[in-house]
Structure 1
Amino acid sequence: MYKRVLTDYPALLEASEYTKQQLNKIRSALSSELQDSPHKEQITIVTVGSYGRGEASESSDLDLYILFNSDRDAEDVIADELIRIKRVLDGLVPNETGSTGTFGANVCVRFADIQSNIGGKDDTNADITRRLLFLLEGTWLYGKERFRSYRLDLLARYIKPNGSDGKLARFLLNDIIRYYRTIATDFEHKVSDQKQEWGLRQVKLRFSRKILYFSGIVAVAETADLPQQQTLEKINDWFDYQGLERIYQAAPALKETRQVLELYEHFLAQISDRKIRQNLEQLNKEDRASCQPYCELREKGVELSNVLTGWLKEQYSPEHQIHQALLF
């Protein structure tokens, strides 16, 4: 049903089809490249960002990291595999990944590193980012069954079988909220202290990051009244959907759902236009008032916030646990 709905939104449909085709190529190439590796059952490759959201285009980079299931350092065990993985990915997606070090074909972590210390002093910014994006928009490039198993194990850290039935998954919700606020705080640090580009990053904060956050809220809210074990299983199912589809599947008949899709369609069409994208990439904060595409997208971003607020009120009764949980 959702795929049919996308026919009304050409930019979303084009991005979805492009992503699907590219993911098929990448998955096939990695499967072939690693088929003879003695360590292939220990390797899982995760992608997030535009490829995880189903919104990739020719200008997209590939945000990814590798989960290596071993107590030994990946560089000591699978050095050859890492070279081959990078060669495959560079050939299919030549655009450079961001320079933060959180993602890339050379980034190998153990699953335990993102699963443990949640909320503790050793829960680093990189771990929070990898963990929450894994859940909210992640998909697999290599190791499909391991990816799904890891996701269920990760969710089980948040949702305990001995927890109270019929209660929100508050631990998970709180980490989603914390991560979204971290994104907003990081944005100011990156553009003010690190002098990274401002315009396009700002627009993405108003659209794709907002949908990332809101769709996580939806997954938690939709499982509020279930027994704990069912909550775990159903939230895992909800995370099979990409962010926009999660919102659609929760409330396909709401007029606000169509409005969300329309606003996001406009955003995606704008940043897919090469000239507009270049203008946004080069835009400084001081010059924002003179950039017509930015001003228009800023207003659309405000509208999106209003529509999502209305969506939440229409979808969930005033007595629903989600409303209070978002405040306290």
Structure 2
Amino acid sequence: MYKHVLAGYPALLKANEFTERQLNKIRRALDSELQGSPYKDQITIVTVGSYGRGEASESSDLDLYILFNSDRDAEDVISSELSSIKRVLDSIVPNETGSTGTFGANVCIRFSDIQNNIGGKNDTNADITRRLLFLLEGTWLYGNKRFRSYRQDLLARYIKPSGSDGKLARFLLNDIIRYYRTIATDFEHKVSDQNKEWGLRQAKLRFSRKILYFSGILAVAETADLPQQQTLEKISDWFDYQGLERIYEAAPGLQQTRKVMELYEHFLAQISDPEIRQTLERLEKEERDNCPPYCELREKGVELSSVLTEWLKEQYPAEHQIHQALLF
């Protein structure tokens, strides 16, 4: 149904179809490359970012990390497999992954690294990012069954069967809120202290990061009145959808849903245009008011915030738990 809806949004449809083709190609190649490995059942490869959201293009990099189910160091056990994985991925998606070290074919961690210490002193920025993106926009490149099992295990850390029925998954909601605020703070650090490019990052913050956050709130809100065990199962189902798709599936009839998709279509079309994308990539903060593409996206981003606010009010009555939970 959603794929048919995308027919009315050419930029979204093009990105969705490109992503699907690329993911299928990557999955087949990795399956072939790793089929002879004695450790193949201990390896899971996760992708997030534009490939996780179904918005990839020729200019996209591949944000990923590898989960290795072993107490032994991956470099000591599967070094040849890691080299093979990198070779395969580089041959299909040659664009270099960002330099933060959070993602990349060389990032191999244990699942316990993102599952444990949630909110504790050892819960690093990298762990928060990998954990929340795993849930909010992650999909698998290798090891589909393990990916889904890990997701259930991770959600079970947030949603306890012994918890009160008919209550919001507040632990999960609080971590989603915390992560979104971390994104905003991290943005300022990257552009101010690390001199990272500003314009394109700012546009993404106004659109894709906003949808990431809002669609996470939605998943929690849609399961508010269920028994805890059912909440656990249903939230996992909601995370099967990509962020924008999640908004559509929750309220296909709302006029605000249509407006959200129109605004996001415009954003994606703009940043998919090579000339506009290069303009945004080169844009300095001090020159923003002299850049028409940026000014237009800024206005559309403000409009998106207003539409999403209205969406929340229309979809959930005033007495719904989500409204108070977002404040307190």
TM-score (norm 1): 1.00
Residues 95-135 of structure 1: CA deviation (Å, up to 9, x unaligned): 00000000000000100000000000000000000000000
Q: Give the corresponding residue for 1:139.
A: 139
**Which AA in structure 2 matches 1:251?**
A
Residues 126-182 of structure 1: CA deviation (Å, up to 9, x unaligned): 000000000000000000000000000000000000000000000000000000000
Q: Give the corresponding residue for 1:176.
A: 176
**Residue 198 (structure 2) pairs with residue 214 (structure 1):** no
Alpha-carbon distance, 1:252 to partner: 0.3
Residues 243-289 of structure 1: CA deviation (Å, up to 9, x unaligned): 00000000000000000000000000000000000000000001101
Counterpart CA distance in 2 for 1:109 and 1:305 is 36
Counterpart CA distance in 2 for 1:318 and 1:3 is 32
Number of residue pairs the alignment of both structures matches: 328
**Which AA in structure 1 matches 2:300?**
K
Aligned counterparts, 1:1-328, within 5 A: 1-328=1-328
- The SS at the match of 1:45 is strand
* Deviation beyond 3 Å, 4+ runs, structure 1: none
Counterpart CA distance in 2 for 1:121 and 1:29 is 39
Counterpart CA distance in 2 for 1:76 and 1:247 is 44
Alpha-carbon distance, 1:6 to partner: 0.3
- The SS at the match of 2:66 is strand
Alpha-carbon distance, 1:60 to partner: 0.1
Counterpart CA distance in 1 for 2:131 and 2:238 is 16
**Which AA in structure 2 matches 1:299?**
E
- The SS at the match of 1:64 is strand
- The SS at the match of 1:67 is strand
Q: How well do the aligned residues superpose, as a CA RMSD in angstroms? A: 0.2
- The SS at the match of 1:60 is coil
Residues 35-63 of structure 1: CA deviation (Å, up to 9, x unaligned): 00000000000000000000000000000
**Which AA in structure 1 matches 2:103?**
F
Give structure 2 stretches of 5+ with no counterpart.
none
Alpha-carbon distance, 1:68 to partner: 0.3
Counterpart CA distance in 2 for 1:22 and 1:81 is 21
- The SS at the match of 1:155 is helix
Give structure 1 stretches of 5+ with no counterpart.
none
Residues 294-325 of structure 1: CA deviation (Å, up to 9, x unaligned): 00000000000000000000000000000000
Alpha-carbon distance, 1:193 to partner: 0.2
